[in-house]
Structures are given as structure tokens and as C-alpha cells.
Structure 1
Amino acid sequence: MNEIFGPTVQGEGPSAGQRCGFLRLGGCNLSCHWCDTPYTWDWTGISDEGRAYDPRKELNSMSVADVLRDLLAMDVDLIVISGGEPLKQQKRIAPLVRILRGRGISVELETNGTVVPDDELIELGVRFNVSPKLAHAGDPLHRRIKPPALQKLGKTPGVAFKFVCKSHEDLDEVSSLQEELGIGPIWIMPEGKNVTDISRHLGNLSDEVVRRNWNLSTRLHVLAWGDQRGV
């Protein structure tokens, strides 16, 4: 585990603005050069940030009971499980999700769409925010696009496919994936870790996103708090 924080708000996608708590897990099977959470996986400094984080400082083990205690203390109706890539640890988080759902708390899980979700998480009513990575992320196609995982995720209730974009060429790539895999609904989110970049890319993309019958998301937490951790 990397960090637990909140109450805050969900910053992206269909639930943007909703009060929530975050459970951020460590470790990722991709290495996006523009990643906004390199402290969860970049132990060698290969991201654009160029900093090698220390896993001994960034990651720690907690029992389900302790994690549950900290999440419930926030008194929120939504818990977002993020990373890293949380589906790499889905068997470990299933007991926690089961308890949260039993208490009537909604759970959203942020995933890059490369790992097939277990039926147990689907049956528990987890809502998946799937963010497949495009070519500009830097990883080769065979690592970042996994059709079996994306197609199974696409059949889950409440799913949203959220793509980080900054150009019309990125939107063309999204169109190709949608046509090939039949995924949706589509949300487009501007790439950026600061207000200037987000605003520039949002302005560049918005008209074309609407024209293509897709949804548009900003990064509300960055607009509100900048590139801070734990908000």
C-alpha cells in the first residue's frame, strides 16, 4: 500500500466532484513517462520526473482491519481504490471491498485495463474506471492494450473508459480502439499536472470530443490543489 487519504473529492471521470476517500496501492505493470503517481512504482527514475523513489519509504503493509478503520473514519459514501495498478492485488483487496459494500459504501477502482478482473469484484458491484494507455505514454502496444481484459471490463455495470489525451491524433487513436474493441462509454481527460497544461489541452480537445459524441473530464483535484499528494 502507498497511502490512504481523504476526505477529498474524486477528481476525474463520471464521479468528478463527489466526496470520497482514497486507497492508493503501490506497484504498476506499466511505466507511463508522464505518470502523475510515479512514487507508487518508479524505483529507477525512468518517468519524466526523473526521480528514483524508495519503495522502503513509499510502500507499507497494513491489515484489512487497519485499512478499513482508516477508511471508515472519513465518513464518506465512496471509496476510490487507485495506484499503481490495483488489479495486480485484486485478491488481497476483495475482502476489504466486501466489507465496504456490505456497509453500503460505493467502491470505484482505477485501472489501466491490462488485468482481467476477478468475477468476485464484479459481483460485489465495484465500478471500474478504465484508463487504457495510448502510444504517447511510452509503453509498447502489446504491454498497454490487452483486449481480453478491456472487453471483460467493458461488460461490467457502470464502467467508464477514460483516456488521457492532448492532441487530435490521440483522439484518433481512441477512435481506433473503440471501433476495434467495442468499448465505451468514452471519457476524454486532458493530460497535465498543472492548471496551465490542463487548460491548454482541454481547450484544444473539447470541441472535437463533443463532435465525436464522447464525454469530457477535467482533473478537478489538480485545478483545486495543484500537483499535491494526499488530496
Structure 2
Amino acid sequence: MEMLQIAGTVPEDRLPVQEIFGPVPQGEGPYTGRRACFIRLGRCNLHCPPCDSKRTWDTSRYDLAQTCPPRTAEDIVEAAGEHGAGAGIVVISGGEPLLWQRTTAWHRMLTALPGDVHVETNGTISPNEFTTGRIAHFSVSPKIGRMGAADPAKRRIRPAVLADFAVLAGQGKAAFKFVTADAADVEEAARLVRDHQIPHDRVWIMPLGDESAAWTAAGRDIVAQVMDHGFNFSGRLHLTLGVR
């Protein structure tokens, strides 16, 4: 099983945590501006070159035992409470959080976290019944263009998984967010949306860029195209404000 291969030496009753921070405004997608606590878990099943969270997965640069030490669910929930959980949304990010959904630690963490819990996922793993029932919102970000350049399409685009998330999007429980570097990436996103019958009004296009000037410039180049396709446009509020 992929999760068990990724897990390595992480005990079943713990999750690898890169960081817990907040409260900060959610910077992207349909919940932009909402008060949020972030829990960033370690490990990923993809290898995106422009990823801004390489400490969660890049073993060529980091010792993941040091950057993402295992923590108990109880410890994670306590720390999340100290960073605003319960007074806003809790966003579980990564890495790829759904790698851990079959562990006892995941079940305990989701059961104990207060309020609305969101998950940010790369869209390669379907949520199981427990996860679907507990998570208020999935932010699904399939990797295309430069973001997907390091992995073959069959690894990062999984039709059955996208179909599951498309159903959740139709129910208002998921939104798709595509990170695009240029007009060609927007067209690639549009083809994927069409081919996998993803609701257009649940699609956000976000320009690639890890600093405000870069994504603003990229955004100016594609915003009209995004509107023409009937999609939504996502900025990166946290970069504009200079917060996490």
C-alpha cells in the first residue's frame, strides 16, 4: 500500500508534522480571508519542482525525521488549539495529508479537532468514508504544467479519484485549485476540467509565484483567460500581507 510505503518509521499512533501555525487568514481559494489554523503534515507521493513546502518530502535536501517529527494526535490537537483552532477553520495541509487517513492517529486527530476542518490535497487519493464525513471542505489541487513536470501524468492525474472529488464539488464540499504559470497551463486545466466533468463554478485558477510580485505579474497575464473559461481566480493573500 502506498501509505505504508511512505510512512516508513512513523508509528501508527503518530503523524509527521512539519509545522502548526496561526491564526492567519486563509490566503487562497474560496475561503480566502477566513481565520485559520494550519497543520502541515509531512510526506508526499508527488515531487513538484516549484513546491513551497519541500521540507515535507524532499529527502535530497532534508532529513524528514528532523523537519517532520512524529507527534501524537493529542499533541497536535493541543498545539492547534494554541494557534486558533476552534475560533475559525482548521486547514490540514502537507505534503499529502490523505496518505495518513488509514492510521489511528488520523482518526483521533480528526475526532478531536474543533469546528470546521479543511484538507488541502493533490487529488491523487480518494477520501475514505470517515474522512469524507468529518471534513467540511477539500481543496483539490491536481498538478499540471510546471507543478507536475517531475511526475508522469498517470501518477498525478487519477481519473477515478478526480471523479470522487468532482462529486464532492457538486455537493459544495470540494473546490479545485490549479496552479498555473502561463496561458498554456490554463488551457491544460480547462481540458482536465472538461474531461473529468468538474463543475466550472468550483474551479479556481491561481498564478504560480512564491512572492507577491511574481504571482501578480503572472495573474495579470492570465486573468482575462480565466474569466473567459468561466473559472474563478485565486490570489495569494498571505503573500500580499507578508504573513504565513
CA contact (8 A) 2:145 2:181 kept: no
- Give a deviation string over 1:101-144, Cα, whole Å, max 9, x none: xx4x1111000000111111111243100000003221211111
| Matched position secondary structure for 2:49 | coil
Q: 1:29 to 1:125 in 2, by over 3 A?
A: closer
Superposition CA RMSD, Å: 1.3
Give the residue type in structure 2 aligned to 1:153: F
1:179 to 194, 208, 218: 194
- Measured in 2, the distance between the counterparts of 1:72 and 1:195 equals 30
1:1-231 superposed matches below 5 A = 1-44=17-60, 52-75=61-84, 76-92=87-103, 93-100=106-113, 103=114, 105-137=115-147, 138=149, 139-156=151-168, 157-184=172-199, 185-225=202-242, 231=244
- Give a deviation string over 1:80-99, Cα, whole Å, max 9, x none: 00000001011232321222
- Measured in 1, the distance between the counterparts of 2:135 and 2:210 equals 31
- Give a deviation string over 1:19-56, Cα, whole Å, max 9, x none: 11000000011001111111110111xxxxxxx12213
Query: How many positions carry a matched residue from both structures?
Result: 217
- Measured in 2, the distance between the counterparts of 1:77 and 1:17 equals 11
Range with greater deviation from structure 2 (172-181 or 150-159): 150-159
- Give a deviation string over 1:180-204, Cα, whole Å, max 9, x none: 1111311000100011211111101
Q: Which structure 1 residue ranges, 5 or more long, are not aligned? A: 45-51
User: Which consecutive aligned stretches of 4+ in structure 1 deviate over 4 angstroms post-superposition?
Assistant: none
CA contact (8 A) 2:146 2:181 kept: no
| Matched position secondary structure for 2:46 | coil
> How far has the Cα of 1:7 moved from its partner?
1.0
Q: Which structure 2 residue ranges, 5 or more long, are not aligned? A: 1-16
**TM-score using structure 1 length:** 0.90
- Measured in 2, the distance between the counterparts of 1:124 and 1:64 equals 15
**TM-score using structure 2 length:** 0.85
CA contact (8 A) 1:166 1:204 kept: no
* Percent identity for Structure 1 against Structure 2: 35
